[in-house]
Amino acid sequence: MKFLDLARVNIRSGSGGNGAVSFRREKFVEYGGPDGGDGGNGGNVWAEAVDGLNTLIDYRYQQHFFAQNGKGGMGRQRTGRSGDDIVLRVPVGTEILEEDEETVIADLTEVGQRVLLARGGNGGFGNLHFKTATNQAPRHANPGQEGVERTIWLRLKLIADVGLLGLPNAGKSTFLAATSNARPKIADYPFTTLHPNLGVVGVDGTEFVVADIPGLIEGAHEGRGIGDRFLGHVERCAVLLHLVDGTSLTVAEDYHTIIHELEAYGGQLADKPRVTALNKIDALDADELAERRAALEEACGGPVLTMSGVSREGVTEVLRALLRVIRADRAPAHEESGEWRP
Specify the pLDDT at position 332: 58
pTM surpassing 0.75? yes
Give yes or no on whether 1-156 and 162-337 have one common fold: no
Helix (H) or strand (E) holding 95: strand 94-97
User: Taking the domain 162-337, which CATH number applies?
Assistant: 3.40.50.300
pLDDT digits (tens, 9 = 90+) for 214-258: 878 777 766 666 667 788 888 889 999 999 999 999 999 999 999
Binding residues for GTP: 166-173, 191-195, 212-215, 279-282, 308-310
133 or 219, which is more confident?
133
Comparing 230 with 315, the larger pLDDT belongs to 315
For the annotated binding site for Mg(2+), the residues are 173, 193
Q: Of 116-125, 262-271, 294-303, 306-315, which gets the smallest average pLDDT?
A: 262-271
pLDDT above 80 (res 161): yes
Complete DSSP assignment for 186-197: --SSTT---S-E
- Eight-state DSSP code of residue 56: -
Q: Is the pLDDT of residue 160 over 90?
A: no
Average model confidence (pLDDT) across the chain: 88
- Cα(145)–Cα(13) distance, integer angstroms: 11
The binding site comprises 166-173, 191-195, 212-215, 279-282, 308-310
Q: Tell me: domain 1-156, CATH 1.25.40.10, correct?
A: no
- Cβ atoms of 123 and 39 within 8 Å: the answer is yes
At 270, the pLDDT band (50, 70, 90 cuts) reads confident
Instruction: Indicate the domain borders of the chain.
Output: 1-156, 162-337
Judge whether 198 and 160 are in contact, CB under 8 Å.
Answer: yes
Report pLDDT for 50. Answer: 94
**Alpha-carbon separation of residue 261 from 78, 205, 233 (angstroms):** 63, 35, 15
